[in-house]
């Protein structure tokens, strides 16, 4: 495997993955296709500019011509491209269906046409829905509860059908919540770190006791690498590090590390359809010899340190996001 098309490679996990792969495999060629939506950012890959093994194309995975052109010349595809934020999906679900389902369809069609050797689709543990006790296994029922997770589940089912019907050699990973450098500051951890740095309030939904299983982004990247090279065609692999914590615990840890007061926490109305707990069984990926390297305590410290050192990166983004928020709230008021 020498040439890999990475879609959504300018986003959070995609950019970390591209960096991870280029560091590890000196003879690989990585071609990034990214539409640079609000969440995509070429600065996430700025240190790779000029590397002869890295190519960047700005384009949409729903664009058949662009996808056809790029797919004709690669051995494998890793599809990260998606709309990814649950809260946005609650307000405007349309683009989630467009990118997470239609986009997957366009990629699968081209993979079928060119006989791509590996089609690795990046999905999420959110497709299983919420679980009170125990952990979801890969074969469990899909019961997504948000337009985001429902769109991702739709993509997963389409991927499965291209294996069964056309023999496209697909694989799927479903990871738990990632955190680390370059995560867009609308998700819990980067939002709370950057708000706390600025002494802004931290809007904690509901009772703050919802549980997420946190994985440091590099550990997800090594898991994706393991599945890409050693995974069994047609299989699904959960990727999680076994760090289940309530949101309030994550919030307190961030505030303590930054020496900020708990009074910054602002309990707010709960998210509609808010999944209570995510938990996944990871025996399948561990059987490939994979295990996470980072514990939550160290991973969180590294992440907070990164945001403290990289204010330039997130301040520009937060300013744009504030504009979006103001525009959005103004529209809402008129309804």
Contact residues: ligand TYD, CB under 6 A: 86, 177, 187-188, 191, 203-205, 210, 212, 247, 271
Among 130, 135, 145, 177, binds ligand NAD (CB under 6 A): 177
In the bound state with ligand TYD, the residue whose beta carbon lies nearer, of 15 and 71, is 15
Give residue number: closest CB to ligand NAD.
Answer: 11
Token readout for 306 is 């990164």
Separation CA 251–CA 21 (nearest Å): 32
Query: Is 126 assigned a catalytic role?
Result: yes
Separation CA 45–CA 11 (nearest Å): 9
Which position among 128, 148, 162, 307 bears the catalytic label? 148
- Contacts (CB under 6 A) with ligand NAD, residues 81-100: 81-82, 84, 99
Token readout for 165 is 């019907």
Backbone angles phi and psi of 139, in degrees to 5: -90, 0
DSSP 8-state secondary structure symbol assigned to residue 136: B
Count of other CB atoms within 10 angstroms of residue 320: 10
- Contacts (CB under 6 A) with ligand NAD, residues 127-156: 152
CB 105 within 8 A of CB 147: no
As measured in angstroms, the least distance from the Cβ of 76 to ligand NAD is 16
Which position among 126, 219, 275, 284 bears the catalytic label? 126
Angle at 105 between CA 88 and CA 14, to 5 degrees: 55
Q: Which does 120 bind (CB under 5 to 8 A by kind): ligand NAD, ligand TYD, none?
A: none
Q: Is 62 in the site for ligand NAD (CB under 6 A)?
A: yes
Q: Show the site string, 229-258: x = touches ligand NAD by CB under 6 A, - = not.
A: ------------------------------
Which position among 34, 83, 100, 125 bears the catalytic label? 125
- Which range, of 36-44, 263-271, 274-282, 321-329, touches ligand NAD by CB under 6 A? 36-44
Q: Residue count of the chain, please give it.
A: 335
As measured in angstroms, the least distance from the Cβ of 214 to ligand NAD is 9
As measured in angstroms, the least distance from the Cβ of 307 to ligand TYD is 15
Angle at 297 between CA 295 and CA 300, to 5 degrees: 100
Q: Which does 104 bind (CB under 5 to 8 A by kind): ligand NAD, ligand TYD, none?
A: none
As measured in angstroms, the least distance from the Cβ of 203 to ligand TYD is 5
Q: What is the CA radius of gyration of the chain?
A: 19
Contacts of 249 (CB under 8 A, 6+ apart): none
- Which range, of 7-15, 67-75, 138-146, 228-236, touches ligand NAD by CB under 6 A? 7-15
Q: Which helix (H) or strand (E) holds 262?
A: none
Query: Is 203 strand, coil or helix?
Result: strand
Q: Which does 118 bind (CB under 5 to 8 A by kind): ligand NAD, ligand TYD, none?
A: none
As measured in angstroms, the least distance from the Cβ of 44 to ligand NAD is 8
Among 12, 119, 136, 307, binds ligand NAD (CB under 6 A): 12
In the bound state with ligand NAD, the residue whose beta carbon lies nearer, of 63 and 75, is 63
Q: Is 285 in the site for ligand NAD (CB under 6 A)?
A: no
As measured in angstroms, the least distance from the Cβ of 7 to ligand NAD is 6
Query: Is 148 assigned a catalytic role?
Result: yes
Q: Identify which of 122, 109, 106 has the alpha carbon closest to the alpha carbon of residue 62.
A: 106
Among 3, 22, 36, 234, binds ligand NAD (CB under 6 A): 36
Catalytic residues: 125-126, 148
């Amino acid at each position: 495997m020498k040439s890999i098309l990475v879609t959504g490679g300018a986003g959070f996990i995609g950019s970390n993955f591209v960096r991870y792969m280029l560091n590890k495999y000196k003879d690989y060629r990585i071609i990034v296709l990214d539409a640079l939506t609000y969440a995509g950012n070429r600065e996430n890959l700025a240190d790779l500019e000029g590397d002869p093994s890295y190519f960047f194309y700005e384009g949409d995975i729903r664009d058949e011509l662009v996808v056809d052109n790029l797919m004709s010349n690669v051995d494998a595809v890793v599809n990260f491209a998606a709309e990814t934020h649950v809260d946005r999906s609650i307000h405007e679900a349309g683009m989630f269906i467009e990118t997470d389902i239609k986009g997957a369809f366009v990629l699968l069609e081209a993979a079928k046409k060119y006989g791509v050797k590996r089609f690795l689709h990046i999905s999420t543990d959110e497709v299983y829905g919420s679980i009170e006790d125990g952990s979801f296994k890969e074969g469990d029922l899909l019961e997504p509860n948000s337009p985001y997770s429902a769109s991702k589940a739709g993509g997963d089912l389409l991927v499965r059908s291209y294996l069964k019907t056309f023999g496209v050699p697909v694989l799927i990973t479903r990871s738990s919540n990632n955190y680390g450098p370059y995560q867009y500051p609308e998700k819990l951890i980067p939002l709370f770190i950057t708000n706390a740095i600025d002494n802004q309030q931290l809007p904690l939904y509901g009772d703050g006791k919802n549980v997420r299983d946190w994985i440091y982004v590099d550990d997800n990247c090594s898991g994706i690498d393991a599945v890409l090279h050693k995974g069994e065609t047609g299989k699904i692999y959960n990727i999680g590090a076994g760090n289940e914590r309530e949101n309030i615990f994550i919030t307190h840890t961030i505030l303590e590390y930054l020496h900020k007061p708990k009074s910054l926490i602002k309990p707010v109305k709960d998210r509609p359809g808010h999944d209570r707990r995510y938990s996944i069984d990871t025996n399948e990926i561990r059987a490939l010899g994979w295990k996470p390297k980072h514990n939550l305590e160290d991973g969180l410290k590294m992440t907070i340190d990164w945001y403290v050192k990289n204010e330039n990166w997130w301040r520009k983004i937060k300013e744009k996001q504030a504009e979006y928020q103001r525009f959005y709230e103004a529209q809402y008021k008129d309804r």
